[in-house]
Structure 1
Amino acid sequence: MIEKLRLWLTAEVNSRLLTEPPYSSYAEVAERFIKELQNSPLPQSLQDKVKDHIISTLLAIVDLRIKKILWELSQGRTPSNMTAEEERLIGPLLKIRQASPQRKKSQNYVVVQFLVSHPAIVTEEFIQIGPFAKGDLAKLPARDAKDLEERGVAKRFP
């Protein structure tokens, strides 16, 4: 078992993404280790050292894997090859991401300067901004900026 965990840790260290875990869960690792330890003829002092080694190896694996999972999530990707515990931990975040409405992003933004005071406006993206005082600068979708410019309310800032 120690060798299997060592190989897992080495694989995680040498990979940018999660590797295929040799166990379906960390709980499975613990159960197998406890069974092996119960059948072991090793003296108690040596068993304690083996326990410490297993714990430190598992902690290193968990640390690496959680960092990789968080990195993948920050890149907008769904991690694969997760253990049962990792899936339970990350599952709610994935559900929230999937449930959130997809916002349409406007491609063109321009800076405008208001020529007169103007009440708050709702952009084409349904975002309320303002109110504005004479001389204020705002970054607006190009279509909204064009509308304000045509009405003489604002001018595009070079």
Structure 2
Amino acid sequence: MPNHKKPNRLLFWIVIAILVAMCAALFLWRSFATSKSNTPATQTPPPAEITAAPKVVEASVPVDQSASVPDSSASMPQSTAALVDDGIVTQAMPKNQSLVQEETDKLKDIEKQLKTQQQTLQAQHQDADKLIQLKEEQIKLLEQQLAQQK
């Protein structure tokens, strides 16, 4: 019987060594993966720099205000007023024509996205109004049915 305990003890230590090696490998793999994913994040420019560039071009490119701004803009909430900066009028124009064109294209894309978003929101608002109207009619019908049952 003493010989029987020796292989069990050896097997026990082999299993423990394999588990420790697996834990160490997992720890190293995770630390390497997190350090690798953190590296590109430090190289990206902050969002403030990205939003600052279109403001320069907007001041340099004359835009027909009657065509690009809908009549409902006068009734904009106070929260969107922060999007408009009066300082963009006094900023200097970029010297490079290709930068001006690129920024103009970006602004046109942003304007198109905003118009699409506005149309979507208006459609949702109309749908909500229609839903409210239908629910009110449904409530009136239910009230009439209750009155007839009594």
TM-score using structure 1 length: 0.30
**Structure with more of its chain in strand, by fraction:** 1
Larger Rg belongs to = 2
Query: Bigger relative contact order, structure 1 or 2, given CA contacts below 8 A and separation 6+?
Result: 2
